[in-house]
Homo-oligomer: A and B are copies of this chain.
């Protein structure tokens, strides 16, 4: 199967956005064993879009379009596909009903132009888009497949993952590419690579590392005749990696650090309370979002700065004498008390540390769990948002280390 991507939108050609969709789809196609030979960016212009689609159909088996499915006059992907295939657009009654229901559920009248999002051509089947108003199109004609998806990355990735990828998998004729990702926290990418170097040279499965915001990901990818055969290639390599890095591996594949932490809390029947002086609600936002938060996340007190500490009944001057590590510990204990929680976590940084001669970018994270309390210091000589983000990761790391032993997992 030869594939080609057409990313549609004048904003791409003005450099107003970077085309991350194509890189995502490229990775996904590689995993499916589908060869991608061309990526084209084209603006919101019917003639050039027709040209791009015609050419793609002439040289590729699978043409994936992103963007141009919105309701405005600039959204031309549907028109262009119809024109190139010589088919007529019609309003599909079911899609129209779904569009009207979408607006009605919000107590609004559907803007007339949005009816274009209910349009199809005879060769097109709609692809559901539960998180947006534009359905995708799955078009099969003359042995070619055209897939059109919305350009909004969140909608595109969801549609790809749930609808398009499963259908394409059947096209790849039995050869499967499977991968497993192990996620490591607390080590740098080169340190991880040093440890696993002998495995990186393997060709099937391949082993590659990626530095991500939530740690280092190690991806094991195998190509085989069946899922079972692919798994048989992956399993021994995974076992080797776990032997080498086990204590630092927090999850696999779709596991997230916050999901793992919330899972441990639920297993223990414990709840978590937060006091955020540095991270301003970022920890709370992350730890309250997954469905697993229910019963595990108790609440957070977000304070703008040291002046607010008096709200907790503390005299900030007292802490100046004890040092910032002790402040983090006492705030962690206060977070437990404040929310009647078994686990308390606190972050401090910035002007709160001013009196102690800490360098810019210094931060402390405190954790109170069981009878113990620990803190960790970090220094991130970067911008304020970057310091906040690193402190969040450090807090997750500390929390995960503090919980996993108690929950009886490795």
Contacts and interface: CB of A to CB of B under 8 A. Distances in A.
Contact of A299 (B17, B131, B190, B301): B301
Contacts of A188: 111
B194 A113 contact: yes
Interface in A102-125: 105-107, 111, 113-114
A304 B291 CA distance: 12
A252 interface: no
B12 A18 contact: no
Nearest to A296: B304
Contacts of A384: 289, 291
A209 interface: yes
Contacts of A111: 188, 190-191, 194
A138 to B, nearest CB: 22
A381 interface: yes
Contacts of A276: 281, 284
Nearest to A40: B40
B200 A73 contact: yes
Contacts of A14: 26-27, 30, 36, 179, 221
Copies in the complex: 2
Interface of A: 10-20, 22-30, 36-45, 48, 70-74, 105-107, 111, 113-114, 130-131, 152, 179, 188-191, 193-194, 200, 208-211, 219, 221, 274, 276, 279-285, 288-289, 291, 293-294, 297-305, 308, 311, 339, 378-386, 388
Contact of A304 (B15, B22, B25, B298): B298
Contacts of A74: 208-209
Contacts of A106: 378-380
A300 B297 contact: no
Contact of A37 (B43, B72, B211, B283): B43
Contacts of A304: 288, 293-294, 297-299
A175 to B, nearest CB: 15
A74 B196 CA distance: 14
A387 to B, nearest CB: 11
Given A284-B280, A288-B281, A13 B37 contact: yes
Nearest to A116: B190
Nearest to A209: B72
The 6 closest A-B pairs by CB, nearest first: A281-B284, A280-B288, A15-B26, A15-B27, A281-B281, A39-B41
A190 B72 contact: yes
B72 A289 contact: no
A353 to B, nearest CB: 15
Nearest to A72: B193
Given A285-B280, A288-B304, A189 B131 contact: no
Nearest to A5: B41
Contact of A302 (B18, B22, B299): B299
Contacts of A193: 72-73, 113
Most chain B beta carbons < 10 A, residue from A71, A210, A281, A284 = A281
Nearest to A117: B190
Contacts of A339: 308, 311
A274 B301 CA distance: 10
Contacts of A210: 11
Given A40-B38, A191-B111, A208-B74, A302 B300 contact: yes
Nearest to A177: B14
A109 to B, nearest CB: 10
B17 A23 contact: yes
A279 to B, nearest CB: 8
A155 to B, nearest CB: 11
Nearest to A152: B211
